[in-house]
């Protein structure tokens, strides 16, 4: 019994192959083959070529089934061809690769139009993730400044033996062997800022919050000088941060080679309305 005995069977096969011709699927395959040849060392190029061929078969299968009632008949036809491909004329190179996947796709229900809109709702989330990632990338230099507050031991700068203590004291170091310390430690420093930080009334009225990154120098005598805003919010909050830094008492100075030195210190100050 030949699978081509039924006229409808031959019609479906021709409709399938005519779809490949009409939609110029050969161009898609040639482009995929060219890319795989150029990027032959990359396994993803071959996987993409496979997906291109499979998607073209999906499109041809869809055109070969004019209505829902012929789905079952068409699936049996694919199975028959997979077992009896030698009966097909050479002029009809019917592609029966990816048989299981193609049959699964034929039986899949077409997505409703409303489902497409549901997928579109993901786009704002995707854009938000991309934007947040970009913001984090932009703040990497700032993060490195913050880490200087509590530097890792491997990051401590070593001073050349030819450099004198007087030269060191004139130019503030970014990191010293022993960093400056607020009297009482970090907790005492945070408590001092909390008690002495004045939230500008204008910022309260405008409900403005944020974080100011400020850098200052702790000289060899432990005195605070040269407060500089690295990352500000607005003029009022930036000035409030500078004012609280100017109120800081004398620190225990940093040391390099056993000598007190001037060291730059970076500190984040958070403005948060409660």
Give pLDDT, residue 65. 78
pTM for the whole structure? 0.40
Give pLDDT, residue 244. 92
Most confident of 111-120, 138-147, 162-171, 263-272: 263-272
Most confident of 65-74, 170-179, 230-239: 230-239
Per-residue pLDDT band for 1 (boundaries 50, 70, 90) equals very low
Give pLDDT, residue 111. 59
179-220 pLDDT per residue, tens: 999 999 888 998 999 899 999 998 888 888 888 999 999 999
Q: Which fold has domain 142-271?
A: TolA/TonB C-terminal domain (3.30.2420)
Residue 94 has pLDDT above 50, yes or no: yes
Residue 132 has pLDDT above 50, yes or no: yes
Give pLDDT, residue 153. 47
Q: Tell me the DSSP string of the chain.
A: --TTSSHHHHHHHHHHHHHHHHTTHHHHHHHHHHHHHHTTT-HHHHHHHHHHHHHHHHHHHHHH--SGGGHHHHHHHHHHHHH-GGGS-TT-----TTHHHHHHHHHSPPPPHHHHHHHHTHHHHHHHHHHHHHHHHHTHHHHHHHHTTS--GGGPPPPPTTS-HHHHHHS-BSS-SB--B-TT-HHHHHHHHHHHPPPPHHHHHTT--EEEEEEEEE-TTS-EEEEEEEE-S-HHHHHHHHHHHHT--PPBPEEETTEEE-EEEEEEEEE---
Give pLDDT, residue 192. 92
Nearest to 232, CA basis, from 210, 199, 254: 210
Per-residue pLDDT band for 43 (boundaries 50, 70, 90) equals confident
What are the sequence ranges of the domains in the chain?
A: 7-120, 142-271
Give pLDDT, residue 228. 92
Stronger pLDDT, 120 or 204, i.e. the higher one: 204
Taking residues 56-64, report their average pLDDT.
79
Stronger pLDDT, 58 or 5, i.e. the higher one: 58
Starting from the edge strand earliest in sequence, which strands make up the sheet with 210-218, in order?
224-231, 210-218, 263-271
Give pLDDT, residue 181. 92
Taking residues 216-230, report their average pLDDT.
92
């Amino acid at each position: 019994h030949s699978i081509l005995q039924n006229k409808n069977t031959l019609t479906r096969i021709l409709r399938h192959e005519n779809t490949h011709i009409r939609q110029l699927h050969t161009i898609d395959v040639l482009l995929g083959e060219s890319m795989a040849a150029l990027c032959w060392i990359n396994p993803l190029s071959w996987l993409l070529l496979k997906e291109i061929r499979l998607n073209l078969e999906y499109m041809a299968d869809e055109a070969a089934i004019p209505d829902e009632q012929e789905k079952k008949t068409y699936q049996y036809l694919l199975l028959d061809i997979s077992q009896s491909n030698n009966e097909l004329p050479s002029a009809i190179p019917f592609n029966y690769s990816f048989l299981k996947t193609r049959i699964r796709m034929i039986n899949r229900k077409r997505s409703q139009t409303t489902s497409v809109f549901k997928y579109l709702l993901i786009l704002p989330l995707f854009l938000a993730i991309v934007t947040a990632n970009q913001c984090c990338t932009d703040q990497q230099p700032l993060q490195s400044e913050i880490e200087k507050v509590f530097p890792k031991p491997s990051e401590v700068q070593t001073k050349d033996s030819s450099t004198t203590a007087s030269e060191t004291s004139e130019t503030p170091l970014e990191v010293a062997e022993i960093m400056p310390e607020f009297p009482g430690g970090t907790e005492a420093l945070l408590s001092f800022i909390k008690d002495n930080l004045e939230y500008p009334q204008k910022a309260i009225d405008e409900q403005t919050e944020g974080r100011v990154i400020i850098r200052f120098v702790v000289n060899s005598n432990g005195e605070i000088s040269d407060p500089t805003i690295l990352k500000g919010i607005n003029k009022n909050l930036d000035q409030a941060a500078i004012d609280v830094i100017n109120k800081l008492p004398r620190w225990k100075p940093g040391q390099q080679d056993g000598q007190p030195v001037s060291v730059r210190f970076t500190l984040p100050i958070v403005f948060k309305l409660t």
